[in-house]
Amino acid sequence: MGAGASITPRENTGEGEEGQLGPKIVTLKELPDAIEECVYTEDKWPLVIDPDGDASRFLKYQRGSFLLGSIPPEMEKSKLRKLLVGCLKNGSNMTVKYRTMENGIQNLTRYFEPGFFPAEVLKKYEIMDEKCWSGLLRQDEGDPPVHDFSVMDSFVFMVVIEEPGELPPEVHNYFSVIQCGGKKANSGGGNGNEDDAVEAMFGAKEIKKNSKDLVEFGFDGELEEIQALVDKGYHIDSEDGRSHTALSEAAAQGQNHVIEWLLKQGADPNMCNDQDRSPMYRAAFNGHSATIQLLLEAGADREILDKGSGERPFDVAKDTASREVIGTWDYSKTEALMEDRRKAILKKLEERIRTAADREALARMLITQELVNKTIKGDCEGLKSQLIEIADEADRTNRRPIVTCEARNERGQTLLSLACQYGKKEIVELLLNHKTTCEEGLFLDPGEHTWEYRVFSANINSREQKGWNITSICTFHDQKTILRLILEAGGDPTIKNSYNMSALDHAKDELDAANNVVIDRSEIRSVLVEWDNNQGSNLFGTGKLGLGGGGDVAAEEPLPKNGTAMEMQLEMQKEDAAMEEPKKKTGGKKGGGKKGSGKAKLMNAKKKISAVKGIKKKK
pLDDT tens sequence across 284-314: 999 999 999 999 999 999 988 887 777 899 9
DSSP 8-39: PPPP--S-SSTT---PEEE-TTTHHHHHHHHH
DSSP 362-375: HHHHHHHHHHHHHH
* Whole-number pLDDT of residue 188: 36
- Per-residue pLDDT band at 391 (split at 50, 70, 90): very high
Least confident of 68-77, 391-400, 528-537, 601-610: 601-610
* Whole-number pLDDT of residue 318: 92
Across-strand partners of 3? none
Least confident of 89-93, 273-277, 448-452, 549-553: 549-553
pLDDT tens figures, 191-248: 333 344 334 434 444 556 788 899 999 999 999 999 999 888 888 899 887 889 999 9
- How does DSSP classify residue 144? P
Least confident of 98-102, 342-346, 376-380, 416-420: 342-346
* Whole-number pLDDT of residue 21: 54
* Whole-number pLDDT of residue 537: 66
pLDDT at 7 over 50: no
Least confident of 92-106, 137-151, 153-167, 585-599: 585-599
End-to-end CA distance of the chain: 55
Across-strand partners of 49? 161, 179
- Residue 460 half-sphere exposure toward CB, CA atoms < 13 A: 22
Proportion of the chain above pLDDT 70, given as a percent? 77
Q: Do the strands 64-68 and 93-98 form a parallel or antiparallel pair, or are they unpaired?
A: parallel
* Whole-number pLDDT of residue 517: 84
* Whole-number pLDDT of residue 543: 39
- Per-residue pLDDT band at 577 (split at 50, 70, 90): low
* Whole-number pLDDT of residue 615: 41
* Whole-number pLDDT of residue 556: 36
* Whole-number pLDDT of residue 443: 84
* Whole-number pLDDT of residue 65: 87
256-264 and 246-253 helices, crossing angle to 10°: 150
Distances (CA, A) of 582 to 473, 518, 593: 66, 59, 7
Least confident of 48-62, 359-373, 399-413, 555-569: 555-569
* Whole-number pLDDT of residue 511: 83
189 versus 475: the higher-pLDDT residue is 475
* Whole-number pLDDT of residue 618: 38
Nearest to 528 by CA among 571, 552, 566, 493: 493
Mean pLDDT of 40-65: 84
73 versus 490: the higher-pLDDT residue is 490
Kindly state the greatest CA–CA separation across the chain.
Answer: 108
pLDDT tens figures, 482-534: 999 999 999 999 888 877 888 998 899 888 888 888 888 899 999 999 888 88
Least confident of 108-112, 181-185, 281-285, 487-491: 181-185
Provide the whole-model pTM.
0.52
Mean pLDDT is highest, among 360-364, 519-523, 585-589, for: 519-523
Least confident of 387-396, 500-509, 584-593: 584-593
* Whole-number pLDDT of residue 359: 74
What are the structural domains, with CATH classification, of the chain? 24-180 (3.40.50), 209-342 (1.25.40.20), 355-535 (1.25.40.20), 565-618 (no CATH)
Residue 575, classed as helix, strand or coil, is: helix
* Whole-number pLDDT of residue 18: 37
Cα 268 to Cα 295: distance, rounded to the nearest angstrom: 10
Average pLDDT of the chain is 78
pLDDT tens figures, 525-575: 999 998 888 877 666 654 333 444 333 333 333 333 444 444 445 555 555
Mean pLDDT of 180-184: 63
Proportion of the chain above pLDDT 90, given as a percent? 30
Asked if 284 and 313 count as a contact pair (C-beta separation under 8 A), the reply is yes
350 versus 522: the higher-pLDDT residue is 522
432 versus 1: the higher-pLDDT residue is 432
Region of 226 (left: φ > 0; alpha: ψ -120 to 50; beta: rest) is: alpha
* Whole-number pLDDT of residue 95: 93
pLDDT tens figures, 145-181: 888 787 877 789 999 998 877 788 888 888 889 998 7
